[in-house]
Structure 1
Amino acid sequence: MTVFVALLRAANVGGTGSLPMAELKAICEGLGFSDVKTYIQSGNVLFRSDEAEKTVEERLDEALGKTMGKRPGVMVRSRKELDKLAADAPFPKAKPNFLLVYFLPEKPPGDTLEKMVAPDGEEAKLAGREIYVHYPNGSGRSKLKLPALKTGTSRNLNTVRKLAEMAAAMEGKD
């Protein structure tokens, strides 16, 4: 069985999309996923499934939509993808909590960063289906404008590393 990491968009952020992690776990188990584990209250869930990544993503998004009233958007990644994202992180002088990885539903066009407006010195780099963004002053007050980020969900580098570590531990149980 493959270990998947699902990242929910707009779950438990700013008072919208409230979904207790125990409920997220129960939804995943109800879909037949096994060894379900959640990590922090921001829509991160790990599990095993024999299904293909896109099937898992679609089924989970649909089930969450029924519970939450609308589909939140779910991005599913493997441990290897998370390991690579952590290892290849650009901006080596960035604090890990100021470097966000935006997970997108599909690979953005090559000219995506040309549309970026970064008034506070933010830097970005494309990497497959993800975009790294370094917020030198933190993301909370940033005025960054990058339209491609709207369809995705972000996690800071510390969280990406922790999810990769948890997925590796689950794979080690095989």
Structure 2
Amino acid sequence: MLKQFPLVFFVLLGCYVGVNSHPQPLKHLSNELEVHAPASEVWEVYRNLGVLKLAAQKNIIQSLTVLKGDGGVGTVVKVTSLSGNESYTEKFTVINDQKRMKVAQGLKGDCLAIGCSVQIIQFDIIQKSQNSSIIKSDIAYAVKKGFEAKNPKPNIQFVEALAQLVKNFLENKNNA
């Protein structure tokens, strides 16, 4: 019995630590925008690098630098703001063509620079009808311990501006 005590002790300790050391819960900022265009067209702009290249062309951002990859899963990009004073680096972690879902993990910048421990951006393109869809943008984030009073938040206005840019681009293209 005494020989088993250390094993039982460490198993119980491991279970206790595993249950009581959960990360902070994620907070969410979300945006939805209806687009009068088929979901397949909206998805083609959002998947890979399309939306960020369009943002650079239309002066929503100063520059887009691909640090690694070709736009698929594992691609790392750096987006520089118009002022040139701020940049944000992210890695594409999910691109699901069946669900029309793209997920990117923030690596540096935005709220990560001011007290967030994690920042995950998810885009879902939802078909509403044959010629109408919804761009759903969600930013999940967690605040580091000690930064709660400062209440750091990601820049939801950027993903809202991207959605509006895609809406205007596709609706003008389809009406031409």
Structure 1 and Structure 2 fold alike (TM over 0.5): no
Bigger radius of gyration:
2
Structure 2-normalised TM-score? Answer: 0.28
